Structure 1
Amino acid sequence: MRPLYSESDGRRVADHEKPGDPESFRSAWRRDYARLIHSASFRRLQGKTQVFPGHEGDFFRNRLTHSLEVAQIAKSIAIRLNAEHAAFKTEEQRLEPDIVEFAGLAHDLGHPPFGHNGEEALDECMQNYGGFEGNAQTLRILTRLEKKATLTPGGDYKPFRISGEDDRVGLDLSYRSLASILKYDAIIPERSMDRAGGSKKVMKGYYESDISLVADIKTHVVGEKYSGEFKTVECTIMDIADDIAYSTYDLEDVFKSDFLRPLDLFALSPKIYDAVVETINKRIKKQYPESTTTIRVSDVKEILHFVFFEIFRFGPDEEELTKNPKMTSEGRKMYLSVDAQERSQLLAENGYYRTALTSSLIQQFLGGVEVILHDEFPQLHKVRLDFDTFVTVEVLKNITYEAVIRDPALQVVEFRGKDIIKRIFHAIKADGGERLLPKDFREVYGQGDAVTRRRTICDFIAGMTDRYAVEFYSRLFGANGMTMHKPL
């Protein structure tokens, strides 16, 4: 079997480095990590919503803290596999935890303000101009929009050459690090009618304008002759780490917010359970094609009972109660119901209990990691959760999505965000509207054709934090907030 990493993995898009360059003691991946955490787009993640908007409280996670948690979980998986799995025992087959950590930190860079509704708004604005999707935007940020390097060496930082050729290379990262964030090996067509079935829904993948870049990434990682499905082992680790973080820490935020308590998860609308089951069964078909198992609502509730069994556990008092001949059956049910409610409230309100729950779940899920080996290309080993662990993670993740994120209280906020993004987009797109862009975006806008100009507007809005988008909108359309001194 080939080594897990090769010299070409560490090559960069601009490739300005020469033998003997300073800091040769640092690996290419460690330098990529440093470039990422010092970037503007990484900092801006602190102003983008994870579940609850940032103004709701300082406790709740945002995209930045979520990314830090995903990176830590992903790196823990890599370290554990190196220590315990036979496939990664030898030196030439050991995983590089720095690449896995990088992937976890970078995976959400492309998310626009206002979550999935923001993504839908920009995709609708970009219909027939290349579309918009968060993962595709992450690749674009890292390879085009961040201001670290250009193709022309020597420090003459201009986005376009005199010939009009785009000279930007973003952070100028190594090809293996870029491969670690390519979650979906699919081209998003420029025209929406060319999507599968002519669907106008957000399509996951990478932009058509990045076809040659992705081809270069694949060539440097697996070689020119490989033409199969492409997803690196580091990317699969990041992917499951994201699911684990989503399924546990987002639920912790839900309990802290008092939006739901653990016991509430057992008495949701039947439509919510049906939606959870439908989503999980679709995911099973995709992720575990060899499985014939179908999840039902009763399975969902059984898993919830397993996760929150402490709520229903009998203590010494309850044991004595069940033996008391004077207590009626109805009385026992009432007493136990009240006791379960109190335990549920304690778990939701007490930080020690919440932390203990999430910690135990993380450890359980990390123990459920398995590896499907690729016989020819170790770069494409697939790391996934075993089936039972996967279903548990999916139940918690989708319960949070259906019961909380899709709740009207949050949907009203996101819907308002969708309207804000569309109105900003159309204001800039109008005749003379490019004057609303900051100078650097205006420079790029002036160099492009119709598609490039739309993409530039999209890049500007996608990079906004939630608060900045509201503020920018207010400066355009609101009665308050007018100022000429605050920079764009």
Structure 2
Amino acid sequence: MSTENTSRFHSERRHGDPNDSDPRSPFERDRDRVLYSSAFRRLAGVTQVAAVRERHLLHNRLTHSLKVAQVGRRMAQRLCKDHMEFHEGFAHGEDFFPDVVEVAGLAHDIGHPPFGHTAETVLREKMSRYGGFEGNAQTFRVLTKLAVHAHVDFGLNLTRESLNAVLKYPRYAGEEASQSADHAWPYRERGGKWGVYRSEEQDFIHARKGTTNGMRSLAAVLMDWADDVSYVTHDLHDYFRGGLMPLHSMGREGSDGFLEFAQARRKEGYEAFDEEKFEQEYEEVKRLAPSRKWQDTRDDRKVLDRFMHELLGNFLHAVSPVKINEEWHLHIEEAAEYQVEVIKELTFFHVINRPSLAMVQRGQRQIITRLFDDLLDMFHNHRNGKRDPNYPVPVLMDDIYDAMVKHERVSKFTRTHEERRARAVCDYICALTEDQAINLYECITGQKVAQGSIFGTWF
């Protein structure tokens, strides 16, 4: 395939390109479309681990996504600069790879619901009879169907390469990747879950053209690594400063139970996971960590900054391209993989496993459960698709439903009325910030009806 044809293949959009005279590259335009979308902006109101209303200045989904995009872009730039054979062979001398990884980093969490993984658990249960729910599949749906762009009817109409880079789990429900010895932990080239709804089959086929065997694209592999790196480093930063992560003292006064906790969480086992290597990298993280308790002094900030800088530098340089059977792959150093796993488990041990967070999440589950049930009940009372003032279905939810009907007229995929209503409810909930979800819950339940307003913008 010639360089010109290769470029056209990577940059092809499923719904045509009415602005092909734009001076920006197709992938720069992808980046701008994601960055300026309301779906991306909404992530400022969605939790990362702790709630966005916390008193401490913590990362939310928006700041996390910005950092994933930045880290991923720098990794991609380094690979293209330091490995000319990879640059010439994979990208045919073009510079689209950093742009694509950045687009994927910006977009990778755009479908996550309010309250993050807590809400995912509820929606997964509620949607089990209606096509399922998965946060990564919702991201692909937002990009290809729900987000708005002036020149197309469905989604942001991103390029093939950018859509493929977002697909961390390029398969449908029921097609989870086998964790056999051929692709054991850490599953970078395949991932273990599913990440596409059947309703986006035509978009999926378009994005995956030229990619086989359920493998992630190279940009998706790099974005996934950048996601993990950003997640663990800003978690360490946030929770050490907040007093929840005792980096200065972990394991230094006898066993604190961390290693036992981490091993118990893996009792079902990863293929080829080495507990001894995990313990070695735990010792390395302890060696690098700040040695004194956080007091919020300038010196404290410098010490923490140096620690973050060293970790990020190690993770950035842990990636290298390798050519196997004439195909390019990305290799990540084993020590770096184990260090990331150590920090993930430290976050579970010191933060996510806390009773106080569990109590907050219990309330969040109740909010999402009640919203889903009541909104679906409202839709049941819709008459012939027309708005009924006795059942005030939100305008956006009505619009999502109508768009599904429109799409089904031009695609091979059809839903029952019940499936369509449930999907519209799910899509609508995933379009809310956490404050909007709480406010809507209070309106529906009457908990703060005296403070209610007729200016509910999402109605």
TM above 0.5:
yes
The 3-state SS of whatever aligns with 1:188 is coil
Conservation of the 8 A alpha-carbon contact between 1:147 and 1:171: yes
Conservation of the 8 A alpha-carbon contact between 1:280 and 1:391: no
- Work out the CA distance in 2 between the residues paired with 1:348 and 1:398: 28
Partner of 1:69: 67
Q: Which of 1 and 2 has greater Rg?
A: 1
Conservation of the 8 A alpha-carbon contact between 2:176 and 2:194: no
Conservation of the 8 A alpha-carbon contact between 1:104 and 1:242: yes
1:259 lines up with 2:261 in the alignment: no
- Work out the CA distance in 2 between the residues paired with 1:52 and 1:306: 27
Partner of 1:116: 117
* 1:274-327 alpha-carbon deviations (Å, 9 max, x no partner): 342466798863xxx6xx74437743542333332x52xxxxxxxxxxxxxxxx
Cα distance, 1:470 vs structure 2: 0.7
The 3-state SS of whatever aligns with 1:371 is strand
Q: TM-score, normalised by structure 1?
A: 0.78
**RMSD after superposition:** 3.0
1:455 lines up with 2:453 in the alignment: no
Partner of 2:225: 240
The correspondence of residues 422-441 of structure 1 with structure 2, limited to 5 A, is 422-430=369-377, 431-432=380-381, 435-441=391-397
Structure 1 pair 282–81 and aligned structure 2 pair: CA distance change class (3 A): farther
Quick one: which of 46, 49, 62 aligns to 1:48?
46
- Work out the CA distance in 1 between the residues paired with 2:281 and 2:335: 12
The 3-state SS of whatever aligns with 1:265 is coil
Conservation of the 8 A alpha-carbon contact between 1:78 and 1:100: yes
- Work out the CA distance in 2 between the residues paired with 1:28 and 1:441: 31
Partner of 2:207: 217
Structure 1 pair 440–55 and aligned structure 2 pair: CA distance change class (3 A): closer
The 3-state SS of whatever aligns with 2:453 is coil
Cα distance, 1:128 vs structure 2: 1.5
Partner of 2:143: 142
Partner of 1:353: 303
The correspondence of residues 105-254 of structure 1 with structure 2, limited to 5 A, is 105-148=106-149, 168-188=153-173, 204-219=194-209, 222=210, 227-254=212-239
- Work out the CA distance in 2 between the residues paired with 1:99 and 1:212: 21
Partner of 2:37: 39
User: Structure 1: where are the runs of 5+ without partners?
Assistant: 152-167, 312-342
- Work out the CA distance in 1 between the residues paired with 2:15 and 2:254: 53
- Work out the CA distance in 2 between the residues paired with 1:302 and 1:130: 44
- Work out the CA distance in 1 between the residues paired with 2:255 and 2:443: 41
Q: TM-score, normalised by structure 2?
A: 0.82
Partner of 2:333: 386
Quick one: which of 259, 263, 268 aligns to 1:273?
259
1:302 lines up with 2:283 in the alignment: yes
The 3-state SS of whatever aligns with 1:184 is coil
Say how many residue pairs are matched: 416
Cα distance, 1:374 vs structure 2: 5.0
Conservation of the 8 A alpha-carbon contact between 2:241 and 2:294: no
Partner of 1:486: 456
Cα distance, 1:237 vs structure 2: 0.8
- Work out the CA distance in 2 between the residues paired with 1:181 and 1:357: 30
Structure 1 pair 405–95 and aligned structure 2 pair: CA distance change class (3 A): farther
* 1:156-201 alpha-carbon deviations (Å, 9 max, x no partner): xxxxxxxxxxxx4201111111001001122115xxxx9899xxxx
- Work out the CA distance in 1 between the residues paired with 2:276 and 2:304: 27
Percent of paired sites with the same residue: 30
1:363 lines up with 2:364 in the alignment: no
The correspondence of residues 5-16 of structure 1 with structure 2, limited to 5 A, is 5-16=6-17
Conservation of the 8 A alpha-carbon contact between 2:282 and 2:339: no
Cα distance, 1:268 vs structure 2: 9.6
Conservation of the 8 A alpha-carbon contact between 2:371 and 2:441: yes
The correspondence of residues 396-415 of structure 1 with structure 2, limited to 5 A, is 396-415=343-362
